[in-house]
């Protein structure tokens, strides 16, 4: 009985991951483990979302005004564009306009600042709720 239950759980888990489900909301995962995402990112900043638009099937281009830079060379008030790949269940879209986000992005020669398939950004509300360490 225990063996059958274990096999059943394993099969269900495999199907869940195969279906690209996101077991933990990425905003909360990034907020709780922000040190790891900070180390993996090329650029980290707190920014105000000024606008966004869809670009192609999976891409969202989001324009920010930098409020505070934590990693990378950015200045207060600077405008930056982030390409957000919305191509998995662990992706999220930036919205609404005028919201604040902590953004953990990679630098790509082809795309500039990019978030590729896993939502490595945290809305200000989630950062406050989880007491995320970046201040």
pLDDT in tens, 96-134: 999 999 999 999 988 899 999 899 999 999 999 999 998
Mean pLDDT of the chain: 88
Question: How much is the pLDDT for 113?
Answer: 96
DSSP string, the chain: -HHHHHHHHHHHHHHHHHTT--SS-HHHHHHHTHHHHHHH-SEEEEEEEEEEEEETTTEEEEEEEEEEEEESS--TT-EEEEEEE--STT-----STT-EEEEEEEEETTTEEEEESS--EEEHHHHHHTT-S--
Band (1; pLDDT cuts 50, 70, 90): low
Position with higher pLDDT, 117 vs 31: 31
Q: What is the pTM of this model?
A: 0.82
């Amino acid at each position: 009985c225990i063996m059958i239950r274990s096999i059943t759980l394993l099969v269900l888990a495999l199907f869940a991951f195969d279906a690209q489900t996101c077991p933990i909301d990425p905003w909360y995962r990034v907020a709780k483990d922000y040190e790891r995402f900070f180390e993996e990112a090329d650029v980290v900043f707190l920014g105000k979302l000024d606008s966004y638009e869809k670009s192609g099937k999976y891409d969202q281009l989001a324009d920010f005004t930098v409020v505070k830079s934590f990693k990378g060379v950015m200045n207060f008030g600077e405008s930056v564009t982030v390409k957000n790949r919305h191509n998995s269940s662990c992706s999220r879209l930036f919205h609404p306009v005028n919201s604040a986000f902590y953004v953990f992005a990679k630098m790509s020669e082809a795309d500039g600042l990019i978030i590729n398939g896993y939502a490595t950004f945290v809305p200000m509300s989630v950062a406050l709720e989880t007491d995320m360490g970046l201040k």
